Structures are given as C-alpha cells and as structure tokens.
Structure 1
Amino acid sequence: MSDATTVPTHRRRMSAGTWTLQIAVLAAAVAYMFPIYILINLSLKPPGGSAFPLEPAVRPTLENFFAAWNQALLGPALINSTIVTAASTIIVVICASLAAYPLARSTSRWSSATYYAFILGMIIPFQLAMVPLYTTFRDLGLLGTLPAMIIFYGGAQLPFAVFMYTTFMRNMQREYEEAAEIDGCGQLGKYWHIVLPMSRPITGTVVILTGIHVWNDFFAPLIYLSGGEGTVPIALYGFVGTYYAEWNLVFAGLILSALPLLIVYFAMQKNIIQGFAGGLKG
C-alpha cells in the first residue's frame, strides 16, 4: 500500500515541477518577444494613428515601409553601411587571425606583453581617442568619407577579435601543423592552409559580432561622417526631431535595416554557436 501511494505523489510532484518550468519558460519568451511586438506593431500603424505601443494596429499598412525607404534614402544608406561593414569585417578577420596565430603559439615574454597590450585596447574607452582621431582624419582629408569609418572600425574591433582568435587557437590541436611542417610548409603556409580553415567557427563568431556592432553603431558615424555620406542609423535619425518623432517610420526603417543582418546570422548560425563553444572555453 505504501508503494501504491508514493508513486502518484511522486508523479504529482514531477508534474508540478514541469508546469512551473513551462510557465517560467513561457514568461521568459513573452519578455523577449515584447520588444519585437512593439517594433512590428508600431511599424504597421497608419500615419496619424495612435502612437501607444501596446495598442494593436487596427488597420495595419505597409505604407510606412515605403515611406521610410524613400524619405530616409535607405537605399544609398544601406549600400554605405554594407561597404563599411564588409570592409571593416574583412580587415578585422585578416589582421586579427594573423596576429593571434603567433601569439597563440609563442611562449616568449614579448608575445605575452603584446597579447596583454591587445587586451588593454579592449579596456581603454573610445572617448579618450575621439578628438585625436577627429583631428587626424581632418588633416588627412578623410573626414566625412567611408574610408575613415573603415579605418576606425578596423582598429576599434581588432583587440576583441585578437582575444577571440588567440583563445581559440590555443585550444586547437597542433598535429596537422606539425605534419604540414614536416612536409616543408612554413609559418605562413601553416596559417593559410591549416590554421585559418580550422578557425572557421571563431571566424563566424567574429564576423557576426563585428558586423552587428559596425552596422548598428550611431555615435561614430555621427562624428566622423558629419556633412558626408550617411549610414543606416544616421538616415533613420532624420525621422527624430526636437519636438516631434515619426516613430512609425523609424520602426519600419529599423525592420528594413535589420533584414540583411538577420540573413547573415541565420546563414552563419552554426559557425557562431561552434565559435562561442570553442573560443570561450578554457
């Protein structure tokens, strides 16, 4: 009789725990989906309608998307953002992987000092270099141009990328490199034919993290592209005035600007997860 009475109690406890877990997961999903609901809801509301974000769009319309595309000139802005993001990301991947390979394999004091110098670059705030960089770009005639932003992001994102690559390469097996060295392959050959292909997971992580930061950054283009070509955040900023903001157009433009990043993310999702799992362990 005791066994017969304890089994249902155990089942009831398991059921209660499962329900509690499901409710917690559902609450977390609602909390994460709430900003997305506001974003989509406001982007579908007709102009002149209620701006209350929680009120559902009674008459949803796609007019805001066409208006945001035309009024903010999102086409040229998307092209500029794509050029800056792609060029900056390529520079970061090439320079960071080349710098991280010797740092991960060398055990000398100079190697350790160089590695910690890169780490220091992650700590120093951008505001300390803002004015010197502005005067340097001005003297070089690069102020208000896309090459200025490519140079800026290439240097700003390099320390974090070096940290990611170095951590990943230190946990990488060296048997393939030793076999390539026996076959007469030099350091650069080992990097190009062995190390870089094996670093695809962390490369995907660096690409998506760098791309998201560069694509969404607002402060640096506002300073260094003033009076010149604009990126997507600068283009959308035109809908926000001192006394009035066209939030319907802002949120519609945000959805349009997020589509390229979402496509890249889903295309590289597997590499990103593998990169975080392999590059941040140990």
Structure 2
Amino acid sequence: MLSPGPGPGGVTHCGVWGSPIDHSLSPVLHRAAYAALGLDDWVYERREVAAAGFAAALRGLDASWRGLSLTMPLKEVALGEAVSVSTTARETGAVNTLVRHPDGWRGHNTDVHGIVQALREAGCRDTSSALVIGSGATARSAVAALARSGTRAVTFMVRGRARPETVAQARASGLHVEVARMGDWAFGDVVDVVDVVVSTVPPSAVPALDSFPMAHDRAARRRTVLDVVYGQGETPLQAAARARGWTIARGVDMLLHQATEQVELMTGRPAPLPAMRDALERALAERAGGRAG
C-alpha cells in the first residue's frame, strides 16, 4: 500500500473516469476524505472517458496521478491495462479502481465490498437465494458479494443471453444458477422465490413491476432489494419494493463503501467514513432540492 504524498509540483491527482460521468458523486466522497485526512495537496477530478480512448488517456497521465475510480464502460477494459490485479478483480473480471505503484497501475475491485456493506447496513440477514438483474461487470461483482454473504442460488434475469463468463463465475463460486429471460418469465414469479434482488441495469431495463404476487407471503419472507443506480431519486424497482414492505438497500450506500476502500488503497490511510457519509447525504439532499425546484 502506498504512503500518501504529493506528486511533482506538490499536487497529487486522483479522479473518476467513465461515460457518462456528470452524475457521479465520487468527487464528493473523495474530496471529503482528503479534507478530513488533511491531504490539502490532493485533488480529485471527474473526466468523461469512453472505452475506446481509455488506454491512450491512461498513458497520457503524468507522474502526479495516484489513483482512478472507474465506472462503466471501463471496468473490463481496465483489466488489460493493469500490471497486476487483486484476487477479487480477477474473480469478477472487473476493475473499478486503479492505483499507481512503481511498477505501474494495479487493479482492484471495491464494488464487491460496497455491495456487501450496503446489504449489511440495510439489515439483510437472509441471502440464501438471489435474483440478479443483468449479467455484466457489475453483476459479477454482485455475485461475488452475494457468495460472500451466504447465497447458495442465483437467478440471472436478462433480455437476451446471460454472459457466459458471469454464469461461469457464479458456478465457480459454488452457486446453483438459473437464467430467466425477460418476456419468457413473469417478473413476479421469479421474485416470489428469492430473498434478495440486485439490479445492475438502468431503471428503464427493469421489467414492469405492476403485478407482483407478494402480499400473501410478506410476513413469511423478508426480501431485500438493492438497485445500484443512484442519484436519480427513487427508482421504480425501489418504489415497488417499498410499497410491498420490502427492505431497501440503497445504491448510494454501495457507492459510499466502495469509495472508502478506494480511499484507503489510494492514500494508505484509514478512510474517514463519518465525514464521507455526511458529505454524501448533503449532496443527495441538494440534488433532491434541485429536482423539487
């Protein structure tokens, strides 16, 4: 792990890259951490970077750059640019964090930690069976997190074919795997037999939720829903789940906890969780006020 210190010129640079990126709250979290840690010479920037331009953009960074947070669509292409990757990044085939070392950029996956902690904070205790909507890079992080939380069976709900590498990862983790194609299965029938739902796709890609047959077993099965989307108010999936008395694990809590691990990897210091949480909640309140206005 690196010790914090300024780059050439006295400034150490970190940032979040992806496309689209304007919505990202990562700058709020990392800047709050730097302020709490007294890292006045650290800056954190947001940059629009597409997958096709990622390698060139990475090569263009000078020696003052210490770490990168990566969102879609960069989590898979980053694997090929890292000199080494963590066990979790290798397992999931997804890198959401790059940290610069003397030998080059090392890749990590902190999304798994974020999902585990978000479910735990929501009070999710029973994770025996899960529905994961989507089968991309974030879905693989969800599978790894669920396996670490005691899940034994997972159903992937997808529009077309589930990505084979995602199914293979789930089976390698010892999970029983089913695949349900949207349109072939009623969403309510699938949700009816699971304990946890994790959506890794945009809200517009989630099936219609107007016919969940859930009222009869609400007391018998306490479900938890995590929608990794954040910053756009309550998603339709969250609203439908809340109306049925389910537990909501927030996507912003996943964001918070994956960021704490990123801060520790990039700075070499324990992350100031309370300061980061306070800054995040203030930013969310400001966004909500803007939407209301």
Do Structure 1 and Structure 2 share a fold, with TM-score over 0.5? no
When the two structures are superposed, what TM-score results if normalisation uses the length of structure 2? 0.23
Greater strand share, 1 or 2? Answer: 2
- The one of the two structures with greater contact order (alpha-carbon pairs below 8 A, sep at least 6) is 1
User: Whose radius of gyration is greater, 1 or 2?
Assistant: 1
TM-score normalised according to structure 1 size:
0.24
